[in-house]
Amino acid sequence: MMKKAYSILLILCLLIGQSSCDQKETISKGSDGMVVTAHFLASEVGADILKQGGNAFDAAVAVQFALAVVYPRAGNIAGGGFAVIRTADGKYNTLDFREKAPLAAYENMYVDSSGNALTNLGQKGHLAVGVPGSVDGMCELHKKYGSIQWEKLLQPAIDFAGNGIKLTELEANKLNDYRERILTQNSGKKEIRYVKDTLFLKGDILLQPELKETLKRIQLDEREGFYGGKTAELLISEIQNGNGIITNEDLKNYKAVWREALVGKYRDCKIISMPPPSSGGIALIQLLKGAEKFELRNYGFASMEHFHIMTELERRVYADRATWLGDPDFYDVPTSRLISDVYLDERFSDISIDKKSDSQEIKAGEVNVIESFETTHFSIADKAGNAIAITTTLNGNYGCKVVVDGAGFLLNNEMDDFSIKPGVPNQFGLVGGMANAIQPEKRMLSSMTPTIVEKDGELRMVLGTPGGSTIITSVFQNIINAMEFEMTPQECVNAPRIHSQWLPDEIYIEPNAIDNVTRERLEKMGHVIIDMSKIGMMANIFVQENGDVIGCADTIRHKDSKAIGY
């Protein structure tokens, strides 16, 4: 079975034309700590903090701010995210710094008088912005778990913004791809650092002086440096000029929330993940329990049965997501029932090993094709045994594309993660209903799935990825690859991925994820297979039974990412 997985991998690597399947390039071993992020500069920042004696949580704060400068498409100070934490003494916690709907938001704010959904407004421009959570989140994280001074954690980001960073080829190309969209949302502004007169080239220096000043205010005044004073003034004036609805009161009210971690059992492992308002933890635990029930390991990686069963599980889990999941502060999410064995035995009981079920029979919906969007995930472990998995986002690439004039940072477009009208899909093709309807101060449902795996009371994995709705299934597949198919850490990350989500009733596959015979067999069963260039971008840490800490970046999908251990 592993032989087959390996040959698929080799083909994938040859096709992508990179030597990154040479494990030495992507893997990093460390005994004192490990940092894996989407950008090597941010990984260096995190590793430096650990070397200076900071713990995993200090490093996470420094990485979050560094990513806001070196990886502006997803790293952020005006987005939000989730952190899943395991402390060295084996305790768990999670931090919800997800954005909120502004006070002036209302259920039908993206529906016109004839009842048509105005999806664009939830995705672009000032009305798409949720009240940002990242800065308050980092302050809370530092207050509770930090061990070195706050000022030190901001300094690397400030230096990057002030001295400039050399653009990688990937970042230069991404900025160029979004040039017109950024220009459209920022017309008339003087200093938009994310576009210039000509196209960006690899090696160009990106200076962000306005962002540097904003970061200095946060360094000096912590929370108040963002939600009050000059930054708040600039942010609110930007919002008002663009007819947005966020007010000073929204900024003042914003509070990140500590939530009890969602813990589920899968084989002899504990899965520690994010509870609502992320759907990630519930969906992941449902999927893993389903995989266990169907003994996926008996079928072989990339077999017809492997992909068929995963798809059938995902169909049911994403249908549950659409109906039952939303912000628990506003909607009574039946969490324990959804992950209970009794419920799942019943829920998965109609899955047939050789017959496809039909999503359209459950509920119909017109659905967009899922494109590639960016969020970012990073995983950090320190020598004491503390670990943190953070997934953070502006939602779309460069968020709503609006840069706060004079403050140099991009705003999120997270409002699109609400269900703007029952059955109307968002940009990830996800549908929802009442549980995820817009209400003032409510958090929009997320798929972000920062996760920690423990076995026999020991830390085993810290993992997560961007990818919108594909986040859950990517994390699922990485755990399955390790636990069911016994892949090595880097094989888990490199292995081709597939994705399905109830609606649309399709299976997305990465290049060469399946051979022609398997593809034909799946199609004969009625599965519709759609090729997709890449799914997810994992940033994983694995702790081996012998204590080796292995960091795995997803460099075959994103070559700027890096694992650094020491």
Least CB distance to ligand DON at residue 346 (A): 27
Q: Which of 130, 408, 425, 466 binds ligand DON (CB under 6 A)?
A: 466
Parallel, antiparallel, or unpaired: how do β-strands 539-543 and 549-553 relate? antiparallel
Least CB distance to ligand DON at residue 50 (A): 26
Q: Which of 132, 467, 489, 551 binds ligand DON (CB under 6 A)?
A: 467
Least CB distance to ligand DON at residue 255 (A): 19
Least CB distance to ligand DON at residue 375 (A): 3
Identity of residue 16 = I
Residue 446 or 561: the one with the smaller Cβ distance to ligand DON is: 446
Q: How many chain residues are in contact with ligand DON, going by CB under 6 A? A: 14
β-partners of residue 378 are 390
Least CB distance to ligand DON at residue 182 (A): 17
Identity of residue 545 = E
Of 143-151, 173-181, 307-315, 370-378, which part binds ligand DON (CB under 6 A)? Answer: 370-378
> Helix (H, G, I), strand (E, B), or coil: what is residue 389?
strand
List the interface residues with ligand DON, window 210-249 (CB under 6 A).
none
Long-range contacts, 349-355 (Cβ 8 Å, 24+): 351/290, 351/294, 351/309, 351/312, 351/313, 351/316, 353/294, 353/305, 353/308, 353/309, 354/308, 354/525, 355/525
Query: How many Å is the maximal CA-CA distance in the chain?
Result: 63
Of 173-181, 460-468, 511-519, 549-557, which part binds ligand DON (CB under 6 A)? Answer: 460-468
Directed axis angle between helix 209-221 and helix 56-70, to 10°?
150
Residue 273: phi and psi, rounded to 5, are -145, -170
d(CA 239, CA 306): 48
Is residue 79 part of the contact set for ligand DON (CB under 6 A)? no
β-partners of residue 82 are 96, 391
β-partners of residue 498 are 509
Is residue 448 part of the contact set for ligand DON (CB under 6 A)? yes
Is residue 510 part of the contact set for ligand DON (CB under 6 A)? no
Least CB distance to ligand DON at residue 496 (A): 18
Evaluate whether 53 touches 62 at the Cβ level (below 8 Å): no
CB atoms within 10 A of CB 348: 18
Evaluate whether 399 touches 103 at the Cβ level (below 8 Å): no
Hey, which residues are catalytic here?
375
d(CA 230, CA 351): 57
Is residue 471 part of the contact set for ligand DON (CB under 6 A)? yes
Evaluate whether 392 touches 60 at the Cβ level (below 8 Å): no
Of 143-151, 180-188, 200-208, 373-381, which part binds ligand DON (CB under 6 A)? Answer: 373-381
Is residue 43 part of the contact set for ligand DON (CB under 6 A)? no
Of 38-46, 133-141, 369-377, 512-520, which part binds ligand DON (CB under 6 A)? Answer: 369-377
List the interface residues with ligand DON, window 258-317 (CB under 6 A).
none
CA atoms in the 13 A half-sphere facing the CB of 254:
33
Least CB distance to ligand DON at residue 79 (A): 9
**Structure tokens that stand for 423 in this block:** 């059955």
Least CB distance to ligand DON at residue 256 (A): 15
Is residue 38 part of the contact set for ligand DON (CB under 6 A)? no
Q: Which of 28, 185, 208, 446 binds ligand DON (CB under 6 A)?
A: 446
Residue 539: phi and psi, rounded to 5, are -135, 95
List the interface residues with ligand DON, window 390-419 (CB under 6 A).
393, 395, 414, 417
Of 146-154, 307-315, 333-341, 445-453, which part binds ligand DON (CB under 6 A)? Answer: 445-453
Is residue 500 part of the contact set for ligand DON (CB under 6 A)? no
Q: Which of 137, 326, 429, 468 binds ligand DON (CB under 6 A)?
A: 468
Residues 6+ apart with CB under 8 A from 346: none
Binding site for ligand DON (CB under 6 A): 373-375, 393, 395, 414, 417, 446-448, 466-468, 471
